[in-house]
């Protein structure tokens, strides 16, 4: 992992340790910064025997397949975050009571040379019509409905999504 600090944020010392990219411990002033796991959500949006994938329009993993979703905001539940993210990205309102929790998976998210570790919470939702449009064009390049039997996990960018799709949807 890439170190995220060159100096202690408290005293600017260069004498610190950052074991396992988990916490910064300054050897001069005693400051401790915990680099905790970030929480994110992903939605497996189903229509008949297909799953909706987005094509990422931004790094990390620009140009690869992804699922709609994003980071959970402070004071927000995971299911609220799914509904908000889908509204922001695809312009549709989900019925939160129809979200089905699937599983969790860990992920590494390198953003602007800062390595974040995430815990991704996966939900599933069935829709009756597959005509969707992109609202967040800065984030999403394209929408692709892929039949389960035609899924190629090597085209999926994030390891957490590859793992969940391979384990839960290709069997």
Please tell me what DSSP assigns to residue 73.
P
Residues 124 and 147 in one domain: yes
Q: How confident is the model at residue 3 (pLDDT cuts 50, 70, 90)?
A: low
Residues 129 and 93 in one domain: yes
Closest CA to 69 of 59, 55, 84: 84
In the chain, pLDDT over 70 holds for what percent of residues?
98
The pLDDT tens digits of the residues spanning 87-136 come to 999 999 999 999 999 999 999 988 887 778 899 999 999 999 999 999 99
Closest CA to 99 of 126, 121, 74, 76: 126
Residues 142 and 157 in one domain: yes
Query: Cβ distance 23 to 16 under 8 Å?
Result: no
For residue 151, pLDDT beyond 90: yes
pTM of the model: 0.89
* Distance between CA atoms of residues 117 and 101, nearest Å: 21
Query: Cβ distance 143 to 131 under 8 Å?
Result: no
Q: How confident is the model at residue 9 (pLDDT cuts 50, 70, 90)?
A: very high
- CATH number for the domain including 157? 3.90.79.10
For residue 1, pLDDT beyond 50: no
Range of the domain at 46: 38-169
Residues 16 and 46 in one domain: no
Give 106's contacts (C-beta < 8 A, 6+ positions apart): 37, 117, 118, 119, 120, 160
* Distance between CA atoms of residues 144 and 76, nearest Å: 28
Please state the domain count of the chain: 2
Residues 22 and 89 in one domain: no
Residue 139 confidence (pLDDT): 96
Residues 3 and 76 in one domain: no
Residues 48 and 31 in one domain: no
Strands across the sheet containing 23-26: 16-17, 23-26, 32-34
Lowest mean pLDDT among 56-70, 73-87, 101-115, 147-161: 101-115
Residues 21 and 73 in one domain: no
């Amino acid at each position: 992992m890439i170190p995220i600090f060159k100096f202690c944020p408290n005293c600017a010392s260069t004498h610190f340790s950052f074991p396992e990219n988990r916490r910064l411990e300054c050897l001069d002033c005693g400051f401790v910064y915990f680099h905790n796991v970030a929480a994110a959500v992903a939605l497996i949006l189903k229509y008949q025997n297909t799953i909706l994938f987005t094509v990422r329009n931004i790094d990390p993993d620009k140009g690869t397949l992804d699922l709609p979703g994003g980071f959970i905001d402070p004071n927000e539940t995971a299911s609220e975050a799914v509904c908000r993210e889908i509204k922001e990205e695809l312009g549709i309102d989900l019925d939160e009571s129809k979200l089905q929790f699937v599983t969790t998976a860990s992920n590494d998210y390198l953003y602007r040379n800062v390595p974040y570790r995430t815990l991704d919470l996966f939900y599933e939702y069935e829709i009756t019509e597959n005509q969707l449009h992109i609202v967040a064009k800065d984030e999403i390049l394209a929408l692709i409905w892929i039949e389960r039997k035609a899924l190629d996990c090597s085209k999926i960018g994030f390891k957490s999504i590859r793992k969940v799709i391979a384990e839960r949807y290709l069997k």
